[in-house]
Chain A
């Protein structure tokens, strides 16, 4: 019975997606607009067209086009959708068994109807960088998505957003053997490239001698590839090899070394940090590296600062440890350490529901961080980490039209996400969110089981499989009806 409910929820989202079309004009009139791009605006207007924001300003300054659909919500607070710089959800499997797998694509593993994405949108997260989890040596190539759309293509924000590298060991390995594989991987890449180039050179030499022997003029062939870039090591003569001839298992590694593919290095304890930095520096990807840190890694903050890299903190904001001698507990407010050192940091959610990114930002404020700094850690800073500054994480002209409307202060526990717009289209409306309605108010959609009946049934929040198309259609109709009664 819960399944029916779920299906209904799913379809309501689908339905909304279908109502809007590309090129639609949309305007939001909100009581407050937190732009994350300068001052907040009271009684402001956001105008969107073609998926982008075309104007943001006060009601007096911004004219709403006559043909725009208007959402007039003077009681609500508008925020840019939250940005999660590193997430390991929404995939069919969060890790592969092979150690080094950057020739695989996360996009092949992303499940658009995963509950994860539904929760993201419900709690205001509109940009998510999906990466492999921590049980790997080098993971697949990740991608940035929005939690909306029925296919992976429709969800795409940025392809090839980066690769996960783990310095902390995969299960069955120790730190020493983990690092050994990492070193070997890049050592093998260099030897491979040297080999390919040498082979090319040798082939050219033999061809030249053959032509001489045969009395044939040989047209000088021009190099077909491009020379190697990168801040670490380089091999000479890579321009001789067309890039298409590079082995597909080596190509993503080469892209990392050339700084073209961002690298997210997982460090679970502080000792991992110097290794991560050394690996990145030796192989030339330090400037495209982001460290994904465990809670005790604040101890290595000086080394991180010196390396000049950005970090994604894990969900534990207060690190507690016991003094080995006195037994006294010591608490460290982790984001505070990074704020003080001036290291750009993005926050991670505890879960993707009530303790999501806004909750984390609120906890930071509770520990004395300024609102601006705390909100930046869930909007502009992660956007910068993802190389999407100006596109996501702020409400400004030209940015993707991802707007979250809160019932009140975005950092208050009593506030709810009322609406979410993604690419200028209404993607979430709480008044039609049957799941929240059921969980909070005990209201079930029409023609489904009552709340009391559902309580008796075994609850299965995750089961979303086994639906069949015909049934879906039925549900869609029902949902259609119920929509009339909505807001």
Chain B
């Protein structure tokens, strides 16, 4: 790589080059290339020794070790020996890397505000790891190792969200944790982050209902087609057997008829054959196919809604879809419907934004105690950065929520284990267990304490932050 610092050089150099070629040209400083790892991944063996390993919220091992090999956690225990070639890291506390379940980091603004997204639009296609390398690096330093990015956040039906790693140099094998973590919708939010008027809101609710119903119908049609096809195939197989058996007889009859026709000087006509029509495959529709998975509960549906009227309607519309896994994002006035949310086990994704942060609803201010109050009513709470590029500050948001009544363990769970479970990535990240990807933090103290330093960060087994950086 030829890296040159700007001086007056370039124009002059050009002139020189043109005038005398073979020529001397300017001296090119071949500065040492910074290693980039796009396309390749380095894996190392690392043993982390810690006074405290937080396996997952509520389960802590004292004086334990975590062994990392080839990007995965291969052992967690109390008396692990370091393999000969292992790098040994020591620290006070080890826990899973933080996950921001509500981010817009690394997405081009056109993808975030794209109003033409449909359910099959994939957010991962809009994630720019190269241009946002700096912002991603900042996330790593505060311990945020993965984020859920969402394109078309303000369109009534958004695209498919994705959980991606924040390591700017992640290779193609590790960059994406899950390319289809969720479907998304919004009620009462426009592209400018302001509330829509009441009619828009009604049409957004209708659109969501229609989409869900059409998807259910699509799935039903598919199933019905398969049944009909099987029945038809069975029938035809029987028919064919019968025809095979009767062929000799039919041939004789035909030969006779041909002969008769010839003798009579008439034209021979074949017998008309009829059979049941084969059932037709329903026309493929990527959007409906995608939402059919949502209706079946294969993917969670994250719906941004703030006001109580919107939340009530949302709850009503989704009620008939028993398998649907709804997540409410925002939920500024969700306390009013907290009982139903708790009963239906619908998590609320809250953004405890500090004053002065531009927020995505007209209420212009998030009650920092919302998370704590929802939790007190038995609602599962997740914490995120509101679909902004502020994922770096996720630990700060969690601290604010703790300072306003959310218990520390719930806050920690909200940005690790619970977030991973809500987005179906708990088998990969969100806890320090054998077999999980090694997205780990080595901290100087308890997580979510403002005095705690992030000393090491591992992303898919690679040390991406270390104290001497």
**Measuring CB to CB, which residues of chain A are less than 8 angstroms from any residue of chain B?**
169, 172-180, 183-184, 187, 191, 195, 202, 206, 209-210, 212-217, 269-271, 274-275, 296, 298-300, 302-303, 305-307, 318, 320, 324-325, 328-333, 336-337, 340, 359, 362-363, 365-368, 371, 409, 411-414
The answer, yes or no, to whether B219 is at the interface (CB within 8 Å) is no
Separation of A328 and B6 alpha carbons in the complex (Å): 9
Contact across chains for B278 and A337 when beta carbons are under 8 A apart: no
Separation of A359 and B281 alpha carbons in the complex (Å): 58
Separation of A347 and B19 alpha carbons in the complex (Å): 20
Determine the chain B residues whose CB is within 8 A of the CB of A306 once the complex forms.
39-40
Determine the chain A residues whose CB is within 8 A of the CB of B125 once the complex forms.
175-176, 178-180, 275
In the complex where A269-B128, A270-B130, A305-B39 touch, is A175 in contact with B28 (Cβ < 8 A)? no
Chain A residue at minimum C-beta to C-beta distance from B134: A324
Determine the chain B residues whose CB is within 8 A of the CB of A217 once the complex forms.
251
Separation of A205 and B2 alpha carbons in the complex (Å): 65
Contact across chains for A202 and B278 when beta carbons are under 8 A apart: yes
Separation of A412 and B129 alpha carbons in the complex (Å): 41
In the complex where A212-B240, A366-B26 touch, is A359 in contact with B18 (Cβ < 8 A)? yes
Separation of A299 and B111 alpha carbons in the complex (Å): 22
Contact across chains for A302 and B28 when beta carbons are under 8 A apart: no
Separation of A195 and B26 alpha carbons in the complex (Å): 62
Among all A-B residue pairs, the 10 with the closest Cβ atoms = A366-B17, A215-B250, A368-B28, A215-B254, A336-B2, A413-B18, A179-B125, A270-B130, A215-B251, A212-B243
Contact across chains for B121 and A180 when beta carbons are under 8 A apart: yes
Determine the chain B residues whose CB is within 8 A of the CB of A209 once the complex forms.
236, 239-240, 243, 273, 275
Distance (whole angstroms) from the CB of B17 to the closest CB of chain A: 2
Distance (whole angstroms) from the CB of B216 to the closest CB of chain A: 22
Per-position contact with A for B226-251: 1 when CB-CB < 8 Å, else 0?
00000000001001100110110111
Determine the chain B residues whose CB is within 8 A of the CB of A359 once the complex forms.
18
The answer, yes or no, to whether B172 is at the interface (CB within 8 Å) is yes
Determine the chain A residues whose CB is within 8 A of the CB of B20 once the complex forms.
412
Per-position contact with A for B175-203: 1 when CB-CB < 8 Å, else 0?
00000000000000000000000000000
Contact across chains for A409 and B21 when beta carbons are under 8 A apart: yes
Determine the chain B residues whose CB is within 8 A of the CB of A191 once the complex forms.
284
Chain A residue at minimum C-beta to C-beta distance from B25: A366
Contact across chains for B130 and A299 when beta carbons are under 8 A apart: yes
* CB contact between B273 and one of A213, A270, A332 (< 8 Å): that residue: A213
Determine the chain A residues whose CB is within 8 A of the CB of B14 once the complex forms.
362-363, 366
Distance (whole angstroms) from the CB of A157 to the closest CB of chain B: 29
Separation of A191 and B286 alpha carbons in the complex (Å): 12
Using A332-B1, A336-B2, A362-B21 as known contacts, list a sample of 15 further A-B pairs with CB atoms less than 8 Å apart, ordered by residue number in A.
A176-B152, A177-B117, A206-B275, A214-B254, A215-B247, A216-B270, A271-B127, A298-B1, A331-B4, A331-B10, A332-B4, A363-B18, A366-B18, A412-B18, A413-B15
Interface residue total, chain B, C-beta cutoff 8 A = 73
* CB contact between A174 and one of B25, B126, B172 (< 8 Å): that residue: B126
Q: Which of A175, A298, A340 has the most chain B CB atoms inside 10 A of its CB?
A: A175
* CB contact between B151 and one of A174, A271, A305, A368 (< 8 Å): that residue: A174
Contact across chains for B6 and A214 when beta carbons are under 8 A apart: no
Determine the chain A residues whose CB is within 8 A of the CB of B240 once the complex forms.
209, 212
Distance (whole angstroms) from the CB of B426 to the closest CB of chain A: 26
Chain A residue at minimum C-beta to C-beta distance from B128: A271
Contact across chains for A269 and B19 when beta carbons are under 8 A apart: no
Contact across chains for A365 and B21 when beta carbons are under 8 A apart: yes
Separation of A214 and B247 alpha carbons in the complex (Å): 8
Per-position contact with A for B25-41: 1 when CB-CB < 8 Å, else 0?
11110000100111110
Determine the chain B residues whose CB is within 8 A of the CB of A307 once the complex forms.
39
* CB contact between B111 and one of A176, A210, A336 (< 8 Å): that residue: A176
Distance (whole angstroms) from the CB of A195 to the closest CB of chain B: 8
* CB contact between A176 and one of B40, B114, B244 (< 8 Å): that residue: B114
* CB contact between B130 and one of A269, A363, A413, A414 (< 8 Å): that residue: A269
Determine the chain B residues whose CB is within 8 A of the CB of A411 once the complex forms.
17-18, 21
Separation of A187 and B10 alpha carbons in the complex (Å): 47
Separation of A432 and B465 alpha carbons in the complex (Å): 67
Chain A residue at minimum C-beta to C-beta distance from B160: A176
Distance (whole angstroms) from the CB of A51 to the closest CB of chain B: 31
In the complex where A176-B152, A302-B36 touch, is A320 in contact with B6 (Cβ < 8 A)? yes
Contact across chains for A331 and B3 when beta carbons are under 8 A apart: yes
The answer, yes or no, to whether B123 is at the interface (CB within 8 Å) is yes
- Cross-chain pairs A/B with CB under 8 angstroms, 15 sampled: A169-B110, A176-B126, A176-B151, A180-B121, A195-B281, A209-B275, A213-B271, A214-B270, A215-B250, A299-B130, A302-B37, A330-B3, A332-B1, A333-B4, A414-B19
Contact across chains for B172 and A303 when beta carbons are under 8 A apart: yes
Within B248-301, the residues touching A (CB, 8 Å) are 249-255, 270-271, 273, 275, 278, 281, 284, 286
Contact across chains for A269 and B122 when beta carbons are under 8 A apart: no
The answer, yes or no, to whether B337 is at the interface (CB within 8 Å) is no
Determine the chain A residues whose CB is within 8 A of the CB of B130 once the complex forms.
269-271, 296, 299-300
Contact across chains for A362 and B111 when beta carbons are under 8 A apart: no
Determine the chain A residues whose CB is within 8 A of the CB of B152 once the complex forms.
176
Contact across chains for B273 and A325 when beta carbons are under 8 A apart: no
Contact across chains for A214 and B273 when beta carbons are under 8 A apart: yes
Distance (whole angstroms) from the CB of B256 to the closest CB of chain A: 10
Distance (whole angstroms) from the CB of A235 to the closest CB of chain B: 15
Contact across chains for B117 and A333 when beta carbons are under 8 A apart: no
Separation of A411 and B37 alpha carbons in the complex (Å): 36
Chain A residue at minimum C-beta to C-beta distance from B3: A332
Chain B residue at minimum C-beta to C-beta distance from A180: B121
Separation of A275 and B175 alpha carbons in the complex (Å): 13
Contact across chains for B21 and A174 when beta carbons are under 8 A apart: no
Separation of A336 and B2 alpha carbons in the complex (Å): 6
Chain A residue at minimum C-beta to C-beta distance from B26: A366
Determine the chain A residues whose CB is within 8 A of the CB of B3 once the complex forms.
330-332
Within B78-128, the residues touching A (CB, 8 Å) are 108, 110-111, 114, 116-118, 120-123, 125-128
The answer, yes or no, to whether B8 is at the interface (CB within 8 Å) is no
Separation of A228 and B28 alpha carbons in the complex (Å): 50
Distance (whole angstroms) from the CB of A28 to the closest CB of chain B: 22
Contact across chains for B114 and A302 when beta carbons are under 8 A apart: no
The answer, yes or no, to whether B159 is at the interface (CB within 8 Å) is yes
Determine the chain B residues whose CB is within 8 A of the CB of A336 once the complex forms.
1-2, 28
The answer, yes or no, to whether B131 is at the interface (CB within 8 Å) is yes
